[in-house]
Chain A
Amino acid sequence: MTGHQPDRDGHDDAALDNLVDAAMSGILAKLEADFDPDAGLADIYARDGATHTGPRHVFPPPAERRRESTGSSRLEEACDQIDLLTAWLGDLIRVGQRAPLGGSSYLELARDSLVQLRAGLGNRTMARPEAQRLTTDISNQLGRADQILRSRHATTLDHLASQSPSSSGDDVLTDQVRVLREMVIRLYAPAGPDPSLLPAR
Chain B
Amino acid sequence: MSFEAVYRAERSKLIRYLMSMGVGQHQADDAVQAAFARAYGCWDQIRAPRAWLYKVALRESYRVHASAGRREIPVGDSLPDAASAPDTGDLVVLNEEEERVRAALAALPGRQRQVMALTLAGFSPAEIAAELGCDPAAVRQNQVRARDNLARHLGIDRRTNR
Contacts and interface: CB of A to CB of B under 8 A. Distances in A.
A41 interface: yes
Interface string A91-131: 10011000000000000000000000000000000000000
Contacts of B84: none
Contacts of A167: 110
A24 B161 contact: no
B151 interface: yes
Give the size category of A's interface with B.
35 or more
Interface string B75-111: 1100000000000000111110110111000000111
Contact residues of B: prevailing secondary structure: helix
B11 A87 contact: no
Nearest to B154: A19
B57 interface: no
A168 B132 contact: yes
Contacts of B147: 2, 4, 13, 16
Nearest to B122: A1
A64 interface: no
A2 B119 contact: yes
Interface stretch (A78-86, A137-145, A181-189, A193-201): A78-86
Contacts, number: 166
Contact residues of A: prevailing secondary structure: helix
Contacts of A32: 12
A44 B109 CA distance: 33
B75 A163 contact: yes
B156 interface: yes
A13 B144 contact: no
A57 interface: no
Contacts of B144: 4, 7
Interface of B: 3-4, 7-8, 11-13, 15-16, 19-20, 22, 33, 36-37, 40-44, 58-59, 62-63, 65-67, 69, 72-76, 91-95, 97-98, 100-102, 109-111, 113-114, 116, 119-120, 125, 132-134, 140, 143-144, 147, 150-151, 154, 156, 158-159, 161-162
12 contacts: A1-B119, A10-B162, A15-B161, A23-B98, A27-B92, A27-B102, A31-B92, A34-B92, A44-B33, A55-B40, A84-B62, A169-B111
